[in-house]
Amino acid sequence: MRIIALMLTLAVFSTSWGHPPHEHSPPIRPGGERFNPIPPLGNRLPPSHRRVYNRPTYLGGKVAYIIAPSSQGAMSWHENVHRGSYRNHAGRIEPMYMYPKPWEVLTVGPRVEK
C-alpha cells in the first residue's frame, strides 16, 4: 500500500517540477534572433588543394602514408609521387580506365545445360 501511495505522490508532484511557461515571448528581430559579428564564410573560401589538383598536398599525403599507407589519401599521394606530379608541378590529373565494366562483361541469358 505504501508503494502505491508513493507512486501516486510522485506522479502528482512530478508535474510541478517543470518550469512555468513564459508570460510573454522574447522579441523577434528582423534578420534573425541574434547578431552575428562574424559572417558565415560560405562559398568565399578558396578551393582546396584536393579539389584543384585531385590529389592531397605533399605533406598531408606523406603524413597519411606514414600513419596509414592503405588509406585513400596515402595511396593517391604515393601514386602521384612516382608519377612526378609534385616535382613537375603538374596540374589536375584525371585517370581514365579503358576496360569494360563488370556488367558489360557478364553474359546475359539462361544457363547452359550440361
pLDDT 10s digits, 44-85: 788 889 999 999 999 999 999 999 999 999 999 999 999 999
Which pLDDT value is given to residue 52? 93
User: Is residue 84 in a domain?
Assistant: yes
The mean per-residue pLDDT over the stretch 87-109 comes to 87
User: Is residue 60 in a domain?
Assistant: yes
User: Is residue 102 in a domain?
Assistant: no
User: Is residue 4 in a domain?
Assistant: no
User: Is residue 2 in a domain?
Assistant: no
User: Is residue 114 in a domain?
Assistant: no
User: Is residue 42 in a domain?
Assistant: no
User: Is residue 52 in a domain?
Assistant: yes
**Domain span including residue 71:** 48-91
pLDDT 10s digits, 15-51: 666 677 777 777 776 666 666 677 777 777 888 899 9
Q: What is the DSSP string of 59-104?
A: HHHHHHHHH-TTSHHHHHHHHHHHHTTTTTT---------S--HHH
Q: How many domains does the structure of the chain reveal?
A: 1
